[in-house]
Amino acid sequence: MINKGFTLMEVIIVIVILGILAALAVRLVDTALDRSRFEATGKEMEHLVFAVVGNPSLIQSGLRSDFGYVGDCAALPSSLDDLVTDPGVTGWNGPYISNEFTQDPDDFKTDAWGTEYNIKADGTITSYGSDGAFGGTGYAEDITKVILDPIDNATKNSIKVYVRDGNGTTLTNIYVGVTIDDPGGVSYNLLYASGYFYLNGIVPIGNWKITATPTVGYIGKLGGALESIVSVYPRGPTPAPASVTKIRFAGTIAEIYKEYRAGQVEVTSAGGAANVTFTAVGGPFSVVLTLRTGPAKAFRLRVTATDDTNYDDFDLIVENTKGQAVNCSSTSAVIDYIVIER
């Protein structure tokens, strides 16, 4: 039997089939590589976001422990290099990102296709995908991660601090001074208005130390300085509300001189103000009470005398039984008692 072998046509057909199979294999391999690079790039970009503003899932002693570069340095990084190399700013505690699979020290600045990330002033990080160009579909589609929306929420937040004494009396800047130290150790004096100390529009995210220190004339009554920690969290997409904390001293700023209990005395409000009359041991006296907006509750009305011998003129503080400032939109309220302090 004679073996004639393959004809030229058969060989050509086989070569064509092998070529088609090879092209399909290459395409499948390229697709698999692009898929792997796409996923790796998305993961690395997420780590970059955590490096800048921290990982919210890291909690220690009930407080978020990781606020990234901003939480340590109280500012946004000027470039991605600041995440691994100390730029000479106070508080830097990096590196904030590591290269897990390569020895290239600059690998974190490029996506899995080797194209540099595009960092924008609006707080976004973008990879241009497999084609390295804007736009595209599939694995060529751009990948964008938002650091914070709006980015101002990273560094331009506000703080409110309420300070009270052991009786629940609101302490103003006459009695105490309040400072905060940012994570980098820079200290700021808080302003006072409307029952609280505040710092508006310049507070970066992070854990801030707050110190309330009695003024010279009230150290003996209030005691030493008190410290607290307030966590300023990144929020979005709307501007972040003020972070609020409360500090309460054990001592008091005034001794109780007289306490007048009036039982259930109804106060009727007309246009937001009311005349209040008590008949008590010290004789009848009248004060003017201004009601604010909020739920009607039983109030504790604390009256601080402005003149030790003349109790016709008072400074009024309206509080609930927890020592909190109370607002009232009702036309009437029930007053429990009046405390006169000096």
pLDDT tens string, the chain, 342 residues long: the values are: 556 666 777 777 777 777 777 777 667 666 678 788 888 888 999 999 999 999 888 888 888 889 999 989 888 898 889 999 999 988 899 899 876 645 567 788 898 888 999 888 888 899 998 888 888 888 888 999 988 888 888 888 899 999 998 878 888 888 899 999 877 677 899 999 888 999 998 889 988 899 999 988 788 888 889 999 888 887 767 767 888 899 999 888 765 545 555 544 454 444 444 445 544 444 444 444 444 444 444 444 555 444 444 433 444 455 554 555 554 433 344 455 555 554
Q: Is residue 24 part of a domain?
A: no
Q: Is residue 203 part of a domain?
A: yes
Q: Is residue 236 part of a domain?
A: yes
Put simply, whether the predicted model's pTM sits higher than 0.85 gets the answer: no
CA gap 203, 186 in Å, rounded: 11
Residue 131 and residue 42 share a domain: yes
- Is 159 buried (19+), middle (13-18) or exposed (0-12) by CB count in 10 A? buried
Q: Measured between alpha carbons, how far is residue 189 from residues 72, 180, 224, 240 in Å?
A: 20, 7, 18, 21
Residue 30: per-residue pLDDT: 63
Q: Is residue 174 part of a domain?
A: yes
Q: Is residue 20 part of a domain?
A: no
Quote the domain boundaries for residue 135.
32-92+105-147
Residue 57 and residue 118 share a domain: yes
Residue 311 and residue 281 share a domain: yes
User: b/e per residue, 190-224, with b = 16+ CB within 10 A?
Assistant: bebeeebbbbeeebbbbbbebbbbbeeebeebbee
Tell me which DSSP letter residue 29 carries: H
Residue 298 and residue 269 share a domain: yes
Residue 28's φ and ψ, nearest 5 degrees, are -65, -40
Count of domains forming the chain: 3
Secondary structure (3-state) at 31: helix
CA gap 315, 308 in Å, rounded: 12
Q: Are strands 298-305 and 273-278 parallel, antiparallel or unpaired?
A: unpaired
Residue 336 and residue 234 share a domain: no
Look at residues 202, 219, 248 and tell me which one is the last residue of a structural domain.
248
Residue 62 and residue 130 share a domain: yes
- Which helix (H) or strand (E) segment is 335 a member of? strand 332-341
* Amino acid found at 179: T
Q: Is residue 137 part of a domain?
A: yes
Residue 261 and residue 244 share a domain: no
CA gap 184, 309 in Å, rounded: 51
Look at residues 231, 248, 265 and tell me which one is the last residue of a structural domain.
248
